[in-house]
Amino acid sequence: MAAHALPAAEAQLVFLGKLQRIFTESDFTATYKFALLMALADLAVELGADDGEALTVSIRQIAERFIQLYWRQALPYGTGRASTSPGVLVQSNGVQAAVVSAITAFRSRHGIATAQLARALPEYPALLRSVAQTVSAQPLNYLQNFGGLSDTFLYERAGAGQVRLKPGVAYCLRRFQPLVQQLARSHWAAHIKRNRQNTGILGQADDLEDFLFAASRQSLLAMGQGLRKLDGDQCFYCAQALKEADVDHFIPFSHYPRDLAHNFVLAHPACNRSKSDTLAAGVHLERWLQRMDLYADDLSELGMAAGMLADAQVSRKIADWGYTTAIARGGSGWLAPGRYEAIDQRYSAYFTP
């Protein structure tokens, strides 16, 4: 079978145009379509390659990502402000979204605090099947309908329980993953705010996106305490002693907005602020990869205790994607406050077996 060419610049612009039309011209009766776009973009990064080829993913893999996305959202949200009352945010224009209801019932029945712990329960496969059925019947059927027409430019069904991202789609999702995530998250939050059923819960809430998508303060605190025991009281970047410490996303959250245990390091607040949304330079990357190999199991245990997802292979894949993208765009890597170096082809060697 002949290999597919990489999408040309014009084709990438057409892809972005159609993606934008989904957000502006599609009928959003629930938040499922936003979750589906985020899931597909994540899976393209974690399972795909920059080769222009089609990518087949299972509906169960998508459903797994739905559970991770909606798990925290099945908790009551409260602002603490007068005239509001805590409650589970309604994710549909009618009755509560089935995925949220299923997760809420599962949490109540089993008393499990995190999606990571839930996966170990014998009852979890039944929850996964239920969510997969909802994903298959609803957003997968309707995501590609916009402007009164159906345009199957993203994917097609590929046998029982699978969808096939069309040639060039995984490449574009990988290339524009931060943009897809940003658009989906902002529209998701706006959809919830517009829903009148949530007015008594939200009031004038200004931290909704953090509640919907970011790790909780308790999880970050637990992760920080575990990292101190594992790495000691020193900044990952400058190696100086720590008094106050930030739990930093090594691959910045703005590049890949997902909390994975292997991606966290402890840093001085000043180093964290200086690095900000920049990828780290080679000397830091090399040490991070070595640390992940050395402490993969320990970091997984820390993640489990903190309620964070943990997968060393996925974290490495995300880092490879992030630095490969930076090479193509002529990015810079952060060495220290005020010091940077070019991210060029030499960085590829860090990910060569």
Judge if 200 and 322 occupy the same domain.
Answer: no
pLDDT-above-70 percentage for the chain: 98
125 or 117: which carries more pLDDT confidence?
125
Digit-coded pLDDT (tens) for 174-196:
999 999 999 999 999 999 998 98
What pLDDT does residue 207 have?
75
Query: Same structural domain for residues 260 and 198?
Result: no
Inform me whether the pLDDT recorded for 163 exceeds 70. Answer: yes
Q: Rounded mean pLDDT of 219-242?
A: 93
- Residue 1 confidence (pLDDT) above 60: no
Residue 192: left (phi > 0), alpha (psi -120 to 50), or beta?
Answer: alpha
152 in any annotated domain: yes
Domain boundary among 213, 241, 271: 213
- For the chain, the three-class secondary structure string (H helix, E strand, C coil) is CCCCCCCCHHHHHHHHHHHHHHHHHCCCCECHHHHHHHHHHHHHHHHCCCCCCCEEEEHHHHHHHHHHHHHHHHCCECCCCCCCCCECCCCECCCCCHHHHHHHHHHHHHCCCCHHHHCCCCCHHHHHHHHHHHHHHCHHHHCCEECCEECCCCEEECCCCEEEECCCHHHHHHHCHHHHHHHHHHHHHHHHHHCHHHHHHHCCCCCHHHHHHCCCHHHHHHHHHHHHHHHCCECCCCCCECCCCEEEECCCCCCCCCCEHHHEEEECHHHHHHHCCCCECHHHHHHHHHHHHHCHHHHHHHHHHHCCECCHHHHHHHHHHHHHHHHHHCCEEEEECCEEEECCHHHHHHHCC
Q: What is the mean pLDDT of residues 251-272?
A: 93
Give Cα 76 distance to the centre of its chain.
Answer: 21
**pLDDT for residue 2:** 52
Number of domains composing the chain: 2
- Please write the tens of the pLDDT for every residue from 118-138: 999 999 999 999 999 999 999
| Same structural domain, 129 and 254 | no
- Residue 230 and residue 201 share a domain: no
Statement to judge: residues 264 and 176 lie in one domain: no
Verify that 169 and 39 share a domain, yes or no: yes
In a domain, 164, yes or no: yes
Instruction: Say whether both 274 and 133 belong to one domain.
Output: no
Average pLDDT value for the chain: 93
The tokens for 319 are 């880092």
**pTM value?**
0.88
What sign results for the dihedral spanned by CA atoms 58, 60, 61, 65? positive
* Residues 201 and 223 placed together within one structural domain of the fold: no
Full residue range of the structural domain in which residue 205 is found = 9-213
Asked if 186 and 331 sit in the same domain, the reply is: no
Convert the pLDDT of each residue in 326-339 to its tens digit: 998 899 999 999 99
How large a percentage of the chain has pLDDT more than 90?
A: 78
